[in-house]
């Protein structure tokens, strides 16, 4: 739907450029910079955002909700996130220039859980001439891209749960993911249908966060795994969590080349 129109547009001769679309993308990029580089001012403790309970680990969301100290992201990580957002914006802009009907770009949407207002930002709404879809644009590594081609969009990082919150808020039944292989420039798209079971699990995580206290947090979702060297290593999603030192005090970072590994302290390490 979207990908075909992007390719057709890019292959056209004598393309036209809609200045209004370019201005919109520039304004949105300004908001992206603020969100990525000044996130501490954007998200407030004591408020429940979609990103805080779309992730499969409710404890991570509770740490943010209760303002636990988070690890400072390394400059390279912040830059990588910023570049990723910029690339995703470029793909969405190209889709709009290609004539795709995409509205509500980066608009805030809201819903309620037990009377508490929850908000989040959608990439956009896509209208195919008949139906409306929540539209999400994602830049992925070659490995992630190939996995999506084989398995579809998975929910291990909460992407599917996130669009379920937006579908629930807007009373929609479908979402469309447009994904880009950041290395080759290849595009693909996948449609995700609303699944009541996914929303139910997400809603339960949201309730667990709201009912939690700093002294009584939801359980963590993942356990360490035994690495090939025999040491207990953090599960992949824990390694990328900014709150891992609260779950695993004394966790140790070991770098092998450019690959970081995080090991928990065991009795034998003392």
Query: One digit per residue, pLDDT tens: the chain, 270 residues?
Result: 999 999 999 999 988 888 888 888 888 888 778 777 765 555 788 999 999 999 999 999 999 999 999 998 888 888 888 899 899 999 999 999 999 999 877 688 999 999 999 999 899 999 999 999 999 999 999 999 999 999 999 999 999 999 999 999 999 999 999 999 999 999 999 999 999 999 999 999 999 999 999 999 999 999 999 998 899 999 999 999 999 999 999 999 888 777 788 999 775 554
Environment class of 244 (CB within 10 Å of its CB; exposed 0-12, middle 13-18, buried 19+): buried
Q: Which residues is 177 bridged to in the sheet?
A: 136, 190
Q: How far apart are CA 196 and CA 192, in angstroms?
A: 12
CATH 3.90.320.10 correct for 2-211: yes
* CA 18 vs CA 9, 11, 21, 268: distances in Å: 13, 17, 6, 64
User: For position 163, what pLDDT does the model report?
Assistant: 97
User: For position 158, what pLDDT does the model report?
Assistant: 96
User: For position 270, what pLDDT does the model report?
Assistant: 47
Environment class of 245 (CB within 10 Å of its CB; exposed 0-12, middle 13-18, buried 19+): middle
Q: Where in the chain is the domain with CATH 3.90.320.10?
A: 2-211
Q: How far apart are CA 193 and CA 175, in angstroms?
A: 6
Q: How far apart are CA 239 and CA 98, in angstroms?
A: 39
Closest to 122 in 3D by CA, of 136, 139, 102: 136
* CA 61 vs CA 26, 41, 58, 142, 263: distances in Å: 31, 17, 5, 29, 22
User: pTM of whole model > 0.85?
Assistant: yes
Q: How far apart are CA 154 and CA 158, in angstroms?
A: 8
- DSSP annotation of 184 reads T
């Amino acid at each position: 739907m979207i990908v075909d129109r992007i390719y057709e547009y890019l292959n056209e001769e004598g393309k036209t450029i809609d200045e209004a679309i370019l201005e919109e993308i520039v304004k949105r990029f300004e908001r992206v910079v603020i969100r990525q580089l000044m996130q501490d001012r954007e998200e407030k403790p004591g408020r429940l955002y979609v990103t805080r309970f779309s992730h499969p680990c409710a404890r991570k969301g509770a740490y943010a909700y209760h303002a636990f100290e988070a690890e400072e992201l390394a400059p390279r990580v912040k830059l990588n996130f910023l570049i990723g957002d910029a690339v995703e914006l470029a793909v969405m802009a190209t889709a709009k220039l290609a004539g795709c009907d995409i509205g509500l770009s980066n608009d805030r949407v809201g819903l309620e859980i037990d009377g508490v207002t929850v908000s989040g930002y959608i990439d956009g709404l896509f209208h195919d001439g008949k139906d409306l879809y929540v539209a999400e644009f994602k830049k992925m590594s070659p490995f992630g891209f190939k996995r999506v081609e084989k398995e579809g969009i998975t929910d291990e990082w909460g992407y599917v749960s996130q669009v379920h919150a937006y579908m629930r808020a807007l009373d929609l039944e479908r979402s469309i993911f447009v994904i880009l292989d950041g290395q080759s420039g290849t595009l693909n798209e996948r449609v995700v249908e609303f699944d009541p079971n996914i929303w139910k699990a997400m809603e339960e995580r949201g309730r667990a966060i709201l009912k939690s206290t700093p002294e009584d947090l939801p359980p963590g979702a993942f356990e360490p795994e035994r690495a090939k060297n025999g040491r207990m290593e953090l599960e992949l999603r824990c390694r990328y969590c900014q709150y891992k030192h609260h779950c695993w005090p004394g966790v140790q970072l070991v770098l092998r080349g450019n690959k970081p590994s995080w090991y928990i302290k065991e009795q034998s390490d003392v």
